[in-house]
A and B are shown apart, each in its own frame.
Chain A
Amino acid sequence: MARSPLSIGKFLIIFVSWWLIWALLQTVLLMGFGLRLGIALTDSAVANALVALSCGFVSNNLQYYLPKKERYWYILFLSLGLSILITIACKGILIPLLSSQHGDPGYAIFFSKSWPVRFDIIFLQMACMTILSVLWYSSEEEAQQIQRKTDAERLSKEAELFKLRQQLAPHFLFNSLNSISALTGSQPELARKMIQQLSDFLRSNLKEEEQQSVLLAEELQYLELYLDIEKVRFGHRLSTVIHRDEESLVMTLPPMLLQPIVENAIKFGLYDTTGTVTITIRARAENNHLVISVQNPFDPETSRPKQGAGFGLSSIQRRLYLLFARGDLLETRIEGDLFTAIVKIPQQLITPTT
């Protein structure tokens, strides 16, 4: 629930000061009409105290019941009703008090002449306060709604990013274990080596999940582990080439981004053709962006890679969008029977965590 504006120190001081100044002004004004200081002061104090209390009451109560947009007449009637009540109360308190105390019947006559003006001023003040309160609470409520919405969005974004990172392909894992199982009988040394590679890969996979960004140099080491395992699985069918310039090695990228792209290229290449497959990975620095391209062969006769994010790349595109709020960071190209996915990683936006 929104806080009442008067519960905030700054606004309370303004509120009190306003009524003090207004009471003083009214005193001076009444004295200008020939009332004595004592009477003018009492009149002003009582009248303004009543209006101030009503304003406080209205402001506080709107906290619990805020009229809906189409019900602004409620504000008008509330102010009008309270203004009438205050005027009557003023009359009821001030005339007996001031006439009897000072024995001056002139005050009663003065009051009966001045009440329409008093009423107008009270009504204006009440209406102002009511409208200000309604505006205050509406904007508070809206701000809270926006806050809730951004909180919900942030949570779902984090959950989605986590899920997108988590996609370690079960197919890869079980086939690797099957290869190890096959090697155990005839080549136990190789089996042991592959267990080591798979362990290292899984370990970096777990470690990387906690980081916001990693150096390309580190990511390439991790990729090597993955590629070594895939080469054991597919034997001579799979070969890889990696080109990278020195400058790109110290650039950063989100963890677990490159490997799924390469995995996709391998899958696409190996399952769409029957011959040997070369996957080419190139990394370079360009305009403060890390640009990585991954190329694989495919069969244009039977596959129609969709422009944009076809072939399992949609989760990569989604991740890039969630991280950088840009939809143009993943690009795909087709030249003859070669399919290339190109990702650009903006550098200034990521700060490496230590």
Chain B
Amino acid sequence: MILYDNNYKIKAIIIDDEPLARMIVQEYLQSYPQIEVMQECGDGFEGIKAIQQHHPDLIFLDIQMPKINGFEMLELVEDPPAVIFTTAFDEYAIRAFENHAVDYLLKPFTKQRFDKAVSKWLDQYTLHASARSGAEAPPADASSSPDEGAPGASVSPGNKTRELLDTAAHSPSQQQRVVVKTGGKIKIIPVEDIHYLEASDDYVKIHTHNGAFLKNKTMNYFEQVLDPNHFVRTHRSYILNVQQVTRIDPYEKDSHLCVLQSGAQVPVSKAGYVKLKAVLGL
């Protein structure tokens, strides 16, 4: 088995809003000469920039941070690196970790606990690296094969991360806003500002009074996450904010057309009409 290049340094980034919390990760990493910390970031915006710039192999990520939390930051990263989560106390995050068998460090954590998480990740990383090098490594496809023994020490990029983020999105703070990236800029949309959502291929188009934004999620995802007392899926391809409704007109047989304050017209299917009437109390 060929190990990865000894001169190659593993690139890591620490993202946490508390300086001392970043400091202790730095300190614990001293005993890993093969890992180099490229940058320390104090919030998710810096984090995204640093990830785009350095393409790290591993990030240490806090959950509760200014403006956007750790999960929302990960959502905006196109090809997210492996993550070791660090958090002090957040029931929603911990529930998400538990549900998806993701290892996480509860602050304050000991060096032993930190070592366990890092060496677990290092083992996986080494395996992947040797598999990538094309040598006679076992056909290790860790992303699809179930993890043997204890839960994985980190999230490997891919489906697992997506599922984790979908679960985490049910936290009350994340239900209040949608974070999107538009032309390299990050925009936080309070849910009250949403007029309606429209399915658009693999994306969902979020219509607001400041224009429309695309988010790489499904309609089912939004139907589950948004407050059902305010958002109704009136059609396979539409979810609307009931507070924006001004008028409901009959359209072709069995279907209706909902006119919003902005003047936009949203199709309402037969089943959608029943749901809409129930929420509006008609």
Write the residues of chain A forming the contact surface with B, with a CB cutoff of 8 angstroms: 170-171, 173-175, 177-183, 185-186, 232-235, 237, 270-274, 299, 301-304
Q: Residue B108 contacts which of A181, A186, A233 (CB distance < 8 angstroms)?
A: A181
In the complex, what residues of A have CB within 8 A of residue B192's CB? 304
Let me know if B151 is at the binding interface, CB within 8 A: no
Chain B min CB distance to A182 (Å): 4
In the complex, what residues of A have CB within 8 A of residue B188's CB? 301-302
Let me know if B150 is at the binding interface, CB within 8 A: no
CB within 8 Å of A: which B178-236 residues: 188, 190, 192
Chain B min CB distance to A293 (Å): 24
Q: Residue A271 contacts which of B27, B64, B90 (CB distance < 8 angstroms)?
A: B64
Contact call B88/A302, Cβ cutoff below 8 A = no
Contact call B21/A182, Cβ cutoff below 8 A = yes
Instruction: Tell me the total A-B contact number using a CB cutoff of 8 A.
Output: 80
CB within 8 Å of A: which B14-49 residues: 17-21, 23-24, 27, 42-43, 45
What residue of chain A has the Cβ atom nearest to residue B22's Cβ?
A182
Best-surrounded residue of A181, A273, A303 (most CB of chain B within 10 A): A181
Write the residues of chain B forming the contact surface with A, with a CB cutoff of 8 angstroms: 17-21, 23-24, 27, 42-43, 45, 64-67, 88-90, 106-109, 177, 188, 190, 192
**What's the Cα separation between A186 and B28 when bound, in Å?**
12
Contact call B66/A270, Cβ cutoff below 8 A = yes
Contact call A174/B88, Cβ cutoff below 8 A = yes
Of all A-B residue pairs in the complex, the 5 with the closest CB atoms, nearest first, are A182-B24, A178-B107, A174-B88, A181-B108, A182-B20
Contact call A271/B66, Cβ cutoff below 8 A = yes
Q: Residue B17 contacts which of A171, A185, A234, A299 (CB distance < 8 angstroms)?
A: A234
What residue of chain A has the Cβ atom nearest to residue B65's Cβ?
A271
Contact call B108/A178, Cβ cutoff below 8 A = yes
Chain B min CB distance to A179 (Å): 4
6 extra interface residue pairs, beta carbon distance < 8 Å, beyond A175-B18, A271-B67: A171-B64, A185-B24, A235-B18, A235-B19, A271-B64, A274-B67
Contact call A178/B64, Cβ cutoff below 8 A = no
Chain A min CB distance to B230 (Å): 13
Contact call A274/B177, Cβ cutoff below 8 A = no
Contact call A174/B67, Cβ cutoff below 8 A = no
**What's the Cα separation between A306 and B66 when bound, in Å?**
20
